[in-house]
Amino acid sequence: MSRVPLRAYGPRSLEYQIFCISLQEMRKQAGFTPTALAKRLGTTKSFVASVENGATRLDFLQMREWCGSCKSTVAELAAVFETRLARSRDMKASRLTSAVEN
């Protein structure tokens, strides 16, 4: 059985940027400042900022805790992420089509 390597998503990849934006929007929709979320998570404001700007990555359990602290779920985060990613790809495809037509 051959193994297919997982794609690496760096902090500048479209997918990772959308993930970070989705985390930040989740926090904002819950009505929390970075400081308030940090207090709920038992961490620092700088950690929250570092996650939201893509410098620090979360593992699955940390992401689950982030979602719960924001009164949400991983499933809701995934749905928002997938919707934003699809929209972004549609916009990119539309721009490429327009450029080719002109």
Q: Please state, in angstroms and as integers, the Cα–Cα distance from residue 99 to each residue in 14, 86, 92, following that order.
A: 20, 20, 11
DSSP code of 34?
Answer: H
pLDDT category, 90, cuts 50, 70, 90? confident
The answer to whether residue 64 sits within a structural domain is: yes
CATH of the domain at 42: 1.10.260.40
SS3 8: coil
Q: Answer yes or no: is pLDDT of 22 > 80.
A: yes
Average pLDDT, rounded, for the chain:
89
Q: What's the rounded mean pLDDT across residues 74-88?
A: 96
Number of folded domains in the chain? Answer: 1
Residue span of the structural domain in which 37 resides: 14-101
pTM of the model: 0.82
Stated length of the chain = 102
Q: What's the rounded mean pLDDT across residues 43-69?
A: 97
